[in-house]
Amino acid sequence: MGVKTAFQLEKAGIKNIGKNFLSFQAFEAISVGELVDVMRGNVVKQKSRFTVQISKNLHMDVVEPIKYTNHSCNPNCKLDVKTGQLTAVKAIKPGQNITFDYCTTEYEMEEHFKCNCESDKCRGFIQGFKYLKPNEKKLILPKLSECIKENYLNEEDERVSIKSVE
């Protein structure tokens, strides 16, 4: 049925990268545009470090392997929340962590953390889209999930209405 994902083809899987920290990693080269896997899980109201925001108040408690996909400020994959597809946007080498930008899917994260993605565009502390600087928000605008985009447009509306009151 359909295209097999890189995970199903065992080109990628979960690896313990120390201190029981699990990471979804490429075992073989993955090319740009390749389907890495599709997000699955139960829909829940309570967010956690393993959920992905799917609407204003709902989250998906994502199962392996996407559950263990780490964040990067300059990621090699994008997660399409609507279809659940995690797709490579860069060539991924064997041994590299598979990553996406959590700020494209999470408005306000349950657990904040210090990023060590080592990208020169690293934002440092990751707390969700809400906390990005205005220029950082603009940069990732085309990559946002629908509900984050909606939140962003609401923020813009608020700014405009604040200005018109002044």
Closer to Zn ion at the Cβ: 58 or 139? 139
Closer to Zn ion at the Cβ: 6 or 103? 103
Nearest distance from C-beta of residue 126 to Zn ion, angstroms: 7
Is residue 119 within 8 A of residue 73, CB to CB? The reply is yes
Q: Rounded distance, CA 47 to CA 67, Å?
A: 13
Nearest distance from C-beta of residue 99 to Zn ion, angstroms: 9
Closer to Zn ion at the Cβ: 35 or 92? 92
Nearest distance from C-beta of residue 117 to Zn ion, angstroms: 3
Query: Please, what sign has the CA dihedral across residues 19, 63, 49, 81?
Result: positive
Which three-class secondary structure state does DSSP give residue 144?
coil
Closer to Zn ion at the Cβ: 70 or 87? 70
Nearest distance from C-beta of residue 120 to Zn ion, angstroms: 10
Q: Rounded distance, CA 148 to CA 144, Å?
A: 6
Contacts with Zn ion, residue ranges (CB under 5 A): 73, 115, 117, 122
Closer to Zn ion at the Cβ: 6 or 117? 117
Nearest distance from C-beta of residue 73 to Zn ion, angstroms: 3
